Amino acid sequence: MKEDSCIFCKIANGEIPSATIYEDEQFRVILDLGPASKGHALILPKEHFADVCALPETWAAKVLPLGAKIGAAMKQALGCSGFNLVQNNGASAGQTVFHFHMHVIPRYDDGAKIVTWTPKNPSQEELAQIAETIKSAL
Ligand code: AMP
Ligand code: ZN
């Protein structure tokens, strides 16, 4: 299913042009218009799924291998030494386009911080309590 108002549906299905680096029956991989680093790409399913929770397992199973394939190609072609696979779910997590996508972000040996956070220091009791809370919802 596609959604008429969704820009990533249009890009994934070729209705809006994009810098495409890979395409198959189910996915298109494009360069991000606002890249975090040179070569930053987005894996887009051609059907509309709002986020990872809506993505069927048969589709999800293909995303990680595709991310690895694209990342390996970036290392060879762009000379990056690593890459991040990043996937945001929900506005509070930084998701701005509500059509599932996986970022593939090449990382170079320039020390630039791209995916980072400040570690907190919870007690063992807090960790155990949080673990129980999450487990109860699984
Ligand atoms: P997220 O914040 O995870 O939802 O990521 C959305 C990403 O899509 C951002 O990195 C944007 O730069 C990128 N983006 C938004 N519109 C376009 C577009 N038309 N073509 C390519 N990338 C886009
Ligand atoms: Zn869509």
Say whether pLDDT at 1 is over 90.
no
- Residue owning the nearest CA to atom 1 of ligand 1: 95
Tell me the three state secondary structure of residue 60.
Answer: helix
Query: pLDDT confidence of 8, banded at 50, 70, 90?
Result: very high
Query: Which tens digits make up the pLDDT trace of 73-119?
Result: 999 999 999 999 999 999 999 999 999 999 999 999 988 888 899 99
Q: What is the pLDDT of residue 75?
A: 98
Q: What is the pLDDT of residue 52?
A: 98
Q: What is the pLDDT of residue 112?
A: 85
Pocket test for ligand 1, best of 9, 42, 95 (most atoms within 8 A of CB): 42
Query: Which tens digits make up the pLDDT trace of 17-75?
Result: 999 999 999 999 999 999 999 999 999 999 999 999 999 999 999 999 999 999 999 99
CA distance 79 to 14: 29
Q: Which residues, including other chains, have CB under 8 Å from residue 131's CB and lie 6 or more apart?
A: none
* DSSP collapsed to 3 states, 93-119: HCCCCCCCCEEEEEECCCCCCCCCCCC
* Cβ neighbour number for residue 82 with a 10 Å cutoff: 12
Q: What is the pLDDT of residue 70?
A: 98
Which ligand 1 atom lies nearest to the CA of residue 96?
4
Q: Which of 123, 97, 105 is nearest to 41 (CA)?
A: 105
- Read off the pTM: 0.96
Residue 46, φ and ψ in degrees, nearest 5: -80, -10
103 C-alpha vs ligand 1 centroid, how far in Å?
9
Record the tokens describing residue 59, joined without a space: 């589709």
CA distance 57 to 63: 10
Q: Which residues are catalytic?
A: 101
119 C-alpha vs ligand 2 centroid, how far in Å?
34
Computed over its alpha carbons, how large is the radius of gyration of the chain? Answer: 17
